[in-house]
Amino acid sequence: MRSREVDRQRAQTRKAQVKQRDDGLTPEQRRERDAKALQEKAAKKAAQAAAGAGGATDSKNKGNAKK
């Protein structure tokens, strides 16, 4: 009987997780929203890269040149 209660509780948590995904949008609307968010993120990243590229060198790979 104990395992039955545990199974019910797990099923309820799974249901709750599925409900969070339901935002009332059609798949097409969701794709458009996500594409727009990705474009904004890419534009922001490009702007930061352009602002940081003024005189900075790539410090991540400093000293890691292949010989």
pLDDT class of 2 with cuts at 50, 70, 90: confident
Q: Could you tell me the CA-to-CA distances from 16 to 8, 24, 26, 30, 60 in Å, in that order?
A: 12, 16, 20, 20, 42
pLDDT class of 38 with cuts at 50, 70, 90: very high
Q: Could you tell me the CA-to-CA distances from 55 to 3, 13, 52, 58, 65 in Å, in that order?
A: 63, 52, 7, 10, 20
Mean pLDDT estimate for the chain: 81
Q: Do residues 44 and 37 touch, judged by C-beta distance below 8 A?
A: no
pTM greater than 0.75 (yes/no) = no
